[in-house]
Copies of this chain bind each other. A is one copy, B any other.
Amino acid sequence: MTTAKRDTYTPETLLSVAVQVFIERGYDGTSMEHLSKAAGISKSSIYHHVTGKEELLRRAVSRALDELFGILDEEHARVGTAAERLEYVVRRMVEVLMAELPYVTLLLRVRGNTGTERWALERRREFDHRVAALLKDAAAEGDVRADVEVRLATRLVFGMINSIVEWYRPEGPDGRSDASGASGVSGAGEREVVDAVARLVFGGLRKAS
């Protein structure tokens, strides 16, 4: 973390710092002391903005959840065949994941020890069910294979999409991805990732013959 002291602190910047600390130390392992140090402001200044770390967690995961649920209200998620809507939702999920990377990462790591965590898990489950319902409709309309059970397919597709948080890093100003180590999908741009996911989720690896 390279967070310098700042003169003015907004709830927004505090949230962004808190999310980084939660991701690095885990929510359970984060104290107000850690947050205060990382933000470079006193604990009492933090309490001026929020009631405590659980409120920060709630705001952070709400941001991710609002973006995800927002997808379902978009026109292309409501109009068209179920398969078309599903493909639109899958693409947009990947976009939201990349645009809101730390917030979605935190959401995916929530495990359910506090009220806020249980609430976040419940909302995630609700979102999963909405997407599973689309998949079910697409299968009923004959556009999606029926030989993989809907919930199992939903889990596997979400698994592929969510795994992106493990390696995707936004491109830096030099145009290269700063993805830390691993096999380094260097320079994989947002568009490339969205297209790759859509192609693999719907068409698979096999070459269309």
Contact = CB atoms under 8 A, between A and B. Distances in A.
Given A148-B196, A149-B196, A164 B154 contact: no
A202 interface: yes
Interface in A66-101: 83, 86
Interface in A56-73: none
Contacts of A202: 204-206
B156 A160 contact: yes
Interface residues of A, number: 54
A159 B160 contact: yes
A26 interface: yes
Nearest to A128: B183
A7 interface: no
Given A151-B183, A163-B163, A183-B128, A156 B197 contact: yes
Interface in A105-155: 125, 128-129, 132, 135, 138, 142-149, 151-155
7 contacts: A145-B203, A147-B199, A148-B199, A154-B183, A156-B196, A158-B163, A202-B205
